[in-house]
Structure 1
Amino acid sequence: MKDFMVLKILDQFRGIFGKFGVDYDVMRKILQVKLIMDGRRVPTIMSNSSKKKDETKNKDENKFIKSLWVYGLLGIIMLPFVLMGENYIFQMGVVFGILMFMITSSLISDFSSVLLDIRDKNIIFSKPVHSKTLSMAKTIHIFIYMFFITISVTGIPLLAALIKHGIAFFLLFLLELILMDLLIVVITALLYLFVLKFFDGEKLKDIINYVQIGLSITIAVGYQLLIRLFNFVDFTIAFTPKWWQYFIVPIWYGAPFEVLLHGNHNVHYITFSILAVLVPIVSIMMYIKLMPSFERNLQKLANNSMKGKTGKRTILGGVAKLICSGREEKTFFRFAFDMMKNEREFKLKVYPSLGFALIFPFIFIFNGLRDDGFESIASSRLYLNIYFCALLIPSVVMMLKYSGKYKGAWIYRVAPLKDMVPIFKGALKAFIVRLLLPVYVIESVLFLSIFGVRIIPDLFVVFLVMLLFIVICFWMFGRSLPFSEAYETAQQSEGLMIIPLMFMLGALAGVHYACSLVGYGVYVYMAIVLLLNVVAWKKGLSIGWDKLNK
């Protein structure tokens, strides 16, 4: 089997794993197989290309590694903070705040399904493999990819740090990146372990999804708190340590630069620095001790027992009758609704975006409250921040075509359908009812309490714009059948398509703002968007079988 450089590096720490009761040779073999299998997941776009022969020749080449340049582009936003001045507690605190936001988001959306995977047990636990060894292999597997992402994001800033601040700064930056990744992976795993300990079956799966939403909100709010730790006076950045700042983790990683490179021996800075090293080490030791318990409790995820919920099914049937036309569309509405409700991997990938959609509309309002009073905010047009709710639309529409049960997609071909409109309409309407509408209703109620009933017409316009935006996203993401492709075929290029969609959403919000400046302009815009929705939902989803992505 192919060997990997990362495994050769890991060999240098064989003794450390052995001290914690991990069978290193077995763990290494599991990791080797996992990395080879990762390399054989070929994106759909490649499987249909004329280079299929070359892909077969290089079947062990990891497509994830080849796509890391995308993360490198994202890292450019940290470059100014690395290059500016020498106020390290501020510069590196912000850099690590951005990094923790990005890396934690990636972990809970893309790697939670790996951390909570129970399929390994069916094969590996039939062999003499200790649960601690399997858990460590799973954690190291995730950590390898998280570190690749981190290095890709920080590649340009690291190079800039080496040139601007020297080798000592560079090495300290690199060491703290390792400690940060370790902390993020282990704390997330320990949080899932806590949930697994106290809940069971379907309730457990729901709680894990709520934890993901909570994590998303926490890191978004934490990032905002980080910026507010610093006072900007006459272009001078001042930082006054307080006791509660010990809970703002990015500050931990900014402090060692001040202590080691500036010789600042302030007791708060020294304590922050100790926490930056000690907490990750203690966390990994705790996790290693609790690994067997984690694997035992993971088995609860296999419990699919559910009590009948006749009342809820009746309500769902009533909703289907209200918003769906035709028996076929109602059938696919209920089918898609159940898939989004019950498929754990879909929820693990999608639910974090719900947390961001819930909190982002309020971030700029909070910023305004810092500078202006509540009355000034209530009379402003900051209610248009509710457009940030639509941030979840591209990611969910993109994920609608993926499923762990994708092999059942043959049912679409044998169903007695004249066209595919009922399939697409049913799935998209299920997304609206299941995910979008609850978030939007919560946001609308909160915004009404802040801005008053005067914004009711605007709220209707925003909802109509989001309905139109759903069809636009559907066209941008390839018009594939719902739940018909494996998650492993997800393409990195699809994530890049979200960027122009965000600009398009911003343009629609900008038109709304311009119309709000003109008398009755909002009502004219409402009529135009309503007409566009009628056309888009009637014509935009009418696609022949031959036009599908294959």
Structure 2
Amino acid sequence: MKNFRTLKFLDKFKRLFDSIGIDYPVMRKILQVKLTMDQRRVPTIFNQSGKKKGDENKNENRFIKSLWIYALYGLFLVPFLLFGNNYIFQMSIIFGVLMFIITTSMISDFSSVLLDIRDKTVLGTKPINQKTMNAAKTLHICIYLFFLTGALTAIPLVVSLVKHGIAFFIIFLVEIVLIDLLIVVLTALLYFLILRFFDGEKLKDIINYVQIALSIGIAVGYQFVARSFEIVELNVTFTPMWWQFFIPPMWYGAPYELLLKQNTNTYFIVLSLLAIIIPILAIFIYVKMIASFERHLQKLSDHSSKVKSQKGNRGLAISNIICSSKEEKAFYRFGTIMMKNEREFKLKVYPALGFSLIFPFIFLFNEVRMSSLAEVADSKWYLSIYFASMMISTVIMMLKYSGKYKGSWIYKTTPINKLSSLFKGTLKAFIVRLLLPVYIPLCAVYIFLFGIRILPDLITIFLSFMLYTIISFKFLHNGLPFSESFDAVQQSDGWKVLPFLLLTGVFFGIHYFSTMFSYGVYMYMGILLVVNIIAWRVAFPNRWEKIK
């Protein structure tokens, strides 16, 4: 195994570990194994990238390779350090951003470290004392948190030293350490509370949704960071309010006013004390609860969960309406269950749904900034909802992949020889389960903004999405649904969807052209309706075909 530089650094403190009752050689070996295994883990910010052929043979740590992205986010914080000397404002924003990124990364990427139950099952049977096992686990978390926080704050720390001096730099550095301690402990306590009242499956679901939120947040974050400097007023006055005591970033902004500006306002004193006391108190509580926490972690090894009663009557009613045969209904329900319950599929696909929900508003927001809301409401900017279609081709391409792909043998055992029923049922499940939950809220907001006059346009756009779905399916989906491993996804697959993004522009252009004529939208709507009926019949011919 590789002798990591981190371990070489820890070797210098061997006597310290030995003096507190930790078997250092054993702890070092455990850490070496953990760090070696971590090289196979892909960070969430790379979860949309497929594996290149031969990547699995490379001896590299993908987390370390991803640190440049965190360094880039750290670069975005630099302007706040240069705004002036309104420390409570500047540093509260900086620490707010830092806490968000570190917390979401902690939950999404380090949950496997914090919630690792292999220590108890594998090492618990060996002659290793509990203190050594706990030390290895704690250091494992600290190592990765050190690299993450270091990459994120290295540039801001250097800028703070040059711009504001050594005292500012020291306060910044100490508070970063306090924030890391607070986040680790609060994350662990959050997991403890969830496991205390729920099962391990619920915790896995929550972690999965945080991973999805991080993927969306990183992509959308570029937009908000780029615009934040135009929104923020540089002349800001601080007005003390009682609710500010519940905002952790302000705890860490207050010491700069107290220590550097000698501002002894009671609010700054209390906020500064909270910055120190709360992390220490959280650590004390965690130490007291760690034994109970470890016991509750065993719930993660229990894969049984209560079967929820199907709200199934509604799903069954929908399948009776939109599906034409029993076989199609069966695959519709199968596809719905897979899209709803499979975590790996959601992790790969749901970020695209988030982008589709947010991007129309980003372009609309850009226009509102340049003109009034009333002017936008009277315009044709409701056509920006076409940007919601950007997720269709991506999701269609991913429908053939699954984390449970080994179960695809069941296709061969089913007494069904019509592939059309399989594909139509799955595609209709995609429309009902993934497309409509994005499109309907968008329509509601757009009708509120632009008025009921755009309802025919929204129906026309939906028909365009239906046709776009069929075209994407015929050209991108060349396998049985949920039958291939996500490991088979190639990075080059992402390029396959680009021509289909251009197809969105074609639909947009035709629709825009139709609005120039009286009843043009209604004529276009009728044409799309006929074309959709024909496309569904041509794409899924009613013939017998053996499932191979």
TM-score of the alignment, normalized to the shorter chain, above 0.5: yes
Change (3 A) 1:85 1:70: same
3-state SS of paired residue (1:304): coil
Deviations 1:445-495 (A, max 9, x none): 57767776445445545655766787899999998876566678889x799
Unaligned segments of structure 1, at least 5 residues: 543-550
The yes-or-no answer on 1:38 pairing with 2:38 is yes
8 Å Cα contact 1:333/1:427 also seen in 2: yes
Q: Distance in 1 between matches of 2:232 and 2:145?
A: 34
8 Å Cα contact 1:403/1:487 also seen in 2: yes
Change (3 A) 1:538 1:524: same
Question: Which has the higher Rg, Structure 1 or Structure 2?
Answer: 2
Q: Distance in 1 between matches of 2:297 and 2:279?
A: 23
The yes-or-no answer on 1:48 pairing with 2:53 is yes
Structure 1 stretch 345-354 or stretch 121-130: which is displaced more? Answer: 345-354
Q: Distance in 2 between matches of 1:456 and 1:81?
A: 44
8 Å Cα contact 2:67/2:148 also seen in 1: yes
What letter is aligned with 1:36?
T
Name 1:285's counterpart in structure 2.
284
The yes-or-no answer on 1:194 pairing with 2:193 is yes
Q: Distance in 2 between matches of 1:391 and 1:17?
A: 54
Q: Distance in 2 between matches of 1:467 and 1:510?
A: 14
Q: Distance in 2 between matches of 1:305 and 1:383?
A: 44
Name 1:84's counterpart in structure 2.
83
Change (3 A) 1:535 1:279: farther
Equivalent residues in 2 for 1:413-432, closer than 5 Å: 429-432=428-431
Change (3 A) 1:116 1:315: farther
3-state SS of paired residue (1:31): helix
Name 2:272's counterpart in structure 1.
273
Q: Distance in 2 between matches of 1:345 and 1:204?
A: 15
Deviations 1:402-424 (A, max 9, x none): 65434445667999999988777
Q: Distance in 2 between matches of 1:443 and 1:156?
A: 39
What letter is aligned with 2:304?
N
8 Å Cα contact 2:383/2:508 also seen in 1: no
Equivalent residues in 2 for 1:157-196, closer than 5 Å: 157-196=156-195
Q: Distance in 2 between matches of 1:432 and 1:509?
A: 19
1:26 CA drift (Å): 5.2
Q: How many residues align structurally? A: 529
1:242 CA drift (Å): 1.5
The yes-or-no answer on 1:5 pairing with 2:5 is yes
3-state SS of paired residue (1:196): helix
8 Å Cα contact 2:91/2:252 also seen in 1: yes
Change (3 A) 1:108 1:167: same
What letter is aligned with 1:87?
N
Change (3 A) 1:210 1:84: closer
Name 2:304's counterpart in structure 1.
304
What letter is aligned with 2:36?
I
What letter is aligned with 2:293?
F
Change (3 A) 1:265 1:486: farther
3-state SS of paired residue (2:304): coil
1:194 CA drift (Å): 0.9
Change (3 A) 1:257 1:499: farther
8 Å Cα contact 1:108/1:349 also seen in 2: no
Change (3 A) 1:504 1:245: farther
Q: Distance in 2 between matches of 1:354 and 1:505?
A: 18
Change (3 A) 1:377 1:412: same
Equivalent residues in 2 for 1:280-429, closer than 5 Å: 280-301=279-300, 302-307=302-307, 309=309, 312=312, 315-320=314-319, 322-323=321-322, 332-344=331-343, 403-408=402-407, 429=428
Change (3 A) 1:164 1:435: same
Q: Distance in 1 between matches of 2:231 and 2:292?
A: 45
What letter is aligned with 2:37?
M
1:244 CA drift (Å): 0.9
What letter is aligned with 2:172?
F
Name 2:105's counterpart in structure 1.
106
3-state SS of paired residue (1:60): coil
Root-mean-square deviation over aligned CA pairs: 6.0
Q: Distance in 2 between matches of 1:22 and 1:379?
A: 71
8 Å Cα contact 1:41/1:488 also seen in 2: no
1:157 CA drift (Å): 3.9
8 Å Cα contact 1:131/1:292 also seen in 2: no
What letter is aligned with 1:256?
P
1:37 CA drift (Å): 1.5
Taking structure 2 as the reference length, what is the TM-score of the superposition? 0.67
Q: Distance in 2 between matches of 1:494 and 1:19?
A: 54
Taking structure 1 as the reference length, what is the TM-score of the superposition? 0.67
1:36 CA drift (Å): 0.5
What letter is aligned with 1:193?
F
Q: Distance in 2 between matches of 1:144 and 1:161?
A: 24
Structure 1 stretch 153-162 or stretch 378-387: which is displaced more? Answer: 378-387
Q: Distance in 2 between matches of 1:237 and 1:339?
A: 50
Q: Distance in 2 between matches of 1:6 and 1:75?
A: 23
8 Å Cα contact 1:232/1:238 also seen in 2: no
Structure 1 stretch 273-282 or stretch 360-369: which is displaced more? Answer: 360-369
Change (3 A) 1:129 1:498: farther
Equivalent residues in 2 for 1:204-215, closer than 5 Å: none
Q: Distance in 2 between matches of 1:68 and 1:538?
A: 50
Change (3 A) 1:478 1:434: closer
1:282 CA drift (Å): 2.8
Q: Distance in 2 between matches of 1:514 and 1:187?
A: 51
Q: Distance in 2 between matches of 1:469 and 1:134?
A: 55
1:76 CA drift (Å): 4.0
The yes-or-no answer on 1:249 pairing with 2:264 is no
1:197 CA drift (Å): 0.8
Work out the percentage of aligned pairs sharing the same amino acid.
53
Q: Distance in 1 between matches of 2:148 and 2:493?
A: 15
8 Å Cα contact 1:116/1:298 also seen in 2: yes
Name 2:544's counterpart in structure 1.
none
Unaligned segments of structure 2, at least 5 residues: 542-548
